[in-house]
Amino acid sequence: MRKVVLLGTGSTKYGKLNVTAREAAVLAAKEAIEKVGISNRDVEAVFVSNVFGMTEKQGHLGPIIAHSLGIPYAPTFTVETACASGSTAFREAFVNIAAGFYDCILVVGTEKVSHLDTITATTYFSYGSDFAFEAVNGASFPGLYASIARYHMHKYGTTEEQLAAVAVKNHSNAIHNPKAHFHKKITVEDVLKSRVVASPLKLYDCCPFSDGASAAIIASEEFAKKHIDTLIYVLGTGRASAPAALFNRENMASIISSKLAAEQAFKNSRLTHKDIDFMEVHDCFTIAEVIAIEDMGFCKKGEGAKLAEEGVTEIDGKLPVNPSGGLKAKGHPVGATGVGQINEVYEQLLGEAGKRQVEGATTALTHNVGATGGTCNVLIFRRGD
Amino acid sequence: MKEENLPSIKELEEYVRQGKLMGFKCKKCGHKEVTPFVYCPRCGSSEVEVVELPKTGKVVTYTIQWVAPERFLNEVPYAWCVVELDDGTMVSGWIPFISKPEDLPIGQKVRMVKSYKPGVYFEKVKE
């Protein structure tokens, strides 16, 4: 297997965009190409992630994006694994580079949902779970995570205040992220008083519906050395599935695919938990950040909820989590999210993250979940010296 | 999916409308689920049969939906719940008229009933 390098990234602002998903993808990709300083014609293939394209009356995004980027004959591949689509596209691009099939691939995730009303968007989001056996009985997507939260509260004594602390931290981090959806400081009180969506989750426990696109360029080590000085290696990758239906799992407060993907990524990177300087995890809801940290083995099962409350996961804490603001406050443009996490890793590992910089970070992990855990991808990156 | 002798999702929904819960059972290891399989997700065996499941069980976890998907807009607030049936099979369903956690303690006994409403409809059972 060849060594694979993250050459660079680009991203639109997350939030409400006045362009379509295909346009946002092109803007993010152009920024990445220019930042890295390669030619668009160096890109041999384009891997696209997008989930709700059909709601814009546009499928088959790959060739359209490639055409706009001046590489109309480059092969493309579009992937959908719900909210984990971005990191799935990235990991499969990694496999192609590692295998020696291509030297340079553009990965671009893109999403547009702001043209949908809340009820329609809520319904579309629930298509990522086992719709015929969960949503058909009245579960919304927040409702499924709310059921995970209640189980966690019942089994481990987690409180709504502890969950609120996750939202407060991520909003506070996003203030320093110019591309974040929200730039608004909130308090635990604000979260607790916000409108109940699906109890015990309230509006401020939930990520927003965002538009946005993020791009990443990855290449073989040999190609990378010809174009850039500081190499960020993709050291570990892990992917796994789990039963899409919540009720088919042994522990309803756990996402098994997270555990399996993290084990693989640690194994093939030959790193341990202690090597991770910070991580971007899938916090579509506050409870999701808590169980991500637990399931990947960064603390004992059931003890994740106190970390945000105690400041452990803040930017200057012992284990910084979601310095970007996470899905919660940076935003969650579904197909772009997994690539956006990699954008944060890139800026952090190069020391370009400004006021949200994790001091001295050289090694980072991303964790990206599809729906309630049907898919999970974990990636580990390390800056070379 | 429509294997010989195995019901389609449409047929499973029809059973629910008649007040019956059907499940898939692995003849080899005994594993049961309401979600269709042709190889057992637990042991991998291809020996699958369809069985009728018990109608009573207890609530394992739930949410109270205040923002509902399209077909449930008129039912708010209600509980979407995960129920462990008396034989251990796990299912999801919903319970009407639940507005606060005190209305539905974890472990509450429930019974599936026939209803003109959508989905698997449960009622609380007094002990």
Across the interface, which of A137, A198, A200 has its CB nearest the CB of B67?
Answer: A198
Domain containing residue A95: 4-115+210-233
First-to-last C-alpha distance (Å) of chain B: 40
For chain B, the residue count is 127
DSSP string, B41-60: TTT----EEEEEPPSEEEEE
- The tens digit of pLDDT for each residue in A44-81 reads 999 999 999 999 999 999 999 999 999 999 999 999 99
Q: Is the pLDDT score of A256 beyond 70?
A: yes
Single out the residue of A223, A256, A239, A219 nearest to residue A86, CA to CA: A239
pLDDT band for position B111 (50/70/90)?
very high
Pairwise CA distance, residues A32 & A47, whole Å: 14
- The tens digit of pLDDT for each residue in A1-19 reads 999 999 999 999 999 999 9
- Residue to mutate among B12, B40, B63, with most A CBs inside 10 A, is B63
Q: Between these two residues, A120 and A243, which has the higher pLDDT value?
A: A243
Pairwise CA distance, residues B97 & B104, whole Å: 10
Please report the pLDDT score of residue B43 as a whole number. Answer: 97
Pairwise CA distance, residues A327 & A286, whole Å: 10
Is A132 contained in some domain? Answer: no
Pairwise CA distance, residues A369 & A244, whole Å: 11
Q: Are residues A145 and A283 in the same domain?
A: yes
Is A130 contained in some domain? Answer: no
CATH, domain B9-52, list 2.20.28, 1.25.40, 2.40.50, 3.30.70 = 2.20.28
Average pLDDT over residues B52-57: 98
Q: Look at B68 and A201 and tell me if their CB atoms are within 8 Å.
A: no
Single out the residue of A149, A185, A197, A177 nearest to residue A305, CA to CA: A149
Is A21 contained in some domain? Answer: yes
Chain mean position to CA A72: 28
Please list every residue in chain A whose beta carbon sits closer than 8 Å to the beta carbon of residue B33: 248
Task: Assess contact for B122 and B112: CB atoms under 8 A.
Answer: yes
Single out the residue of A11, A198, A130 nearest to residue B68, CA to CA: A198
Average pLDDT over residues B73-83: 97
Please list every residue in chain A whose beta carbon sits closer than 8 Å to the beta carbon of residue B34: 133
Q: Are residues A221 and A297 in the same domain?
A: no
Where does residue A51 fall: left (phi above 0), alpha (psi -120 to 50 degrees), or beta otherwise?
alpha
Please list every residue in chain A whose beta carbon sits closer than 8 Å to the beta carbon of residue B73: 119
Please report the pLDDT score of residue B4 as a whole number. Answer: 62
Pairwise CA distance, residues A360 & A363, whole Å: 9
Q: Are residues A162 and A307 in the same domain?
A: yes
Q: Look at B94 and A195 and tell me if their CB atoms are within 8 Å.
A: no
A306 token code pair: 């106190």
**Is there a common fold for B9-52 and B56-124?**
no
- The rounded percent of chain B whose pLDDT value lies above 70 is 97
Buried b (16+ CB within 10 A) or exposed e, A137-164: bbbbbbbbbbbbbbbbbbbbebebebbb
Secondary structure percentages of chain B, helix, strand, coil, to 5: 15, 35, 50
Task: Assess contact for A168 and A186: CB atoms under 8 A.
Answer: yes
DSSP state of A181: S
Q: Are residues A319 and A225 in the same domain?
A: no
Q: Are residues A87 and A182 in the same domain?
A: no
> What is the third-level CATH fold of B56-124?
OB fold (Dihydrolipoamide Acetyltransferase, E2P) (2.40.50)
Q: Look at B66 and A123 and tell me if their CB atoms are within 8 Å.
A: no
Single out the residue of A126, A373, A245, A81 nearest to residue B91, CA to CA: A245
Q: Are residues A364 and A293 in the same domain?
A: yes
Q: How many domains does chain A have?
A: 2
Is A121 contained in some domain? Answer: no
Q: Which of A163-177, B1-15, B98-112 has the lowest mean pLDDT?
A: B1-15
Domain residue extents for chain B: 9-52, 56-124
A332 noted as active-site residue: yes
pLDDT band for position A122 (50/70/90)?
confident
Residues in CB range of B103: below 8 A, 6 or more apart = B79, B97
Q: Could you say which of A198, A233, A268 is where a domain stops?
A: A233
Taking the CA of residue A124 and the nearest CA in chain B, the distance in Å comes to 10
Please report the pLDDT score of residue A160 as a whole number. Answer: 98
Please list every residue in chain A whose beta carbon sits closer than 8 Å to the beta carbon of residue B61: 147-148, 150-151, 154, 252
Q: Are residues A203 and A214 in the same domain?
A: no
Using DSSP's 3-state secondary structure scheme, residue A306 falls into: helix
The catalytic position among A181, A282, A332, A367 is: A332
Q: Are residues A28 and A167 in the same domain?
A: no
pLDDT band for position B70 (50/70/90)?
confident
Across the interface, which of A132, A142, A151 has its CB nearest the CB of B61?
Answer: A151
Taking the CA of residue A154 and the nearest CA in chain B, the distance in Å comes to 8
- The tens digit of pLDDT for each residue in A169-184 reads 999 999 999 999 999 9
Q: Are residues A281 and A223 in the same domain?
A: no
Q: Are residues A221 and A366 in the same domain?
A: no
- The tens digit of pLDDT for each residue in A198-234 reads 999 999 999 999 999 999 999 999 999 999 999 999 9
Residue type at A84?
A: A
Tokens 């004959």 belong to A73
- Residue to mutate among B58, B62, B92, with most A CBs inside 10 A, is B92
DSSP state of A230: S
pLDDT band for position B46 (50/70/90)?
very high
Task: Assess contact for A98 and A1: CB atoms under 8 A.
Answer: yes
pLDDT band for position A152 (50/70/90)?
very high
Q: Is the pLDDT score of B69 beyond 90?
A: no
Task: Assess contact for A171 and A140: CB atoms under 8 A.
Answer: no
Average pLDDT over residues A320-346: 98
A376 noted as active-site residue: no
Pairwise CA distance, residues A308 & A35, whole Å: 34
For residue A229, the domain's CATH number is 3.40.47.10
pLDDT band for position A95 (50/70/90)?
very high
DSSP string, B3-38: -TTSPPHHHHHHHHHTT--EEEEETTT--EESS--S
Across the interface, which of A130, A198, A252 has its CB nearest the CB of B35?
Answer: A130
Taking the CA of residue B123 and the nearest CA in chain A, the distance in Å comes to 14
Using DSSP's 3-state secondary structure scheme, residue A352 falls into: coil
Please report the pLDDT score of residue B5 as a whole number. Answer: 73
Taking the CA of residue B93 and the nearest CA in chain A, the distance in Å comes to 5
Tokens 């039963």 belong to A243
B78 token code pair: 């209600």
Across the interface, which of A130, A138, A200 has its CB nearest the CB of B80?
Answer: A138
Is A128 contained in some domain? Answer: no
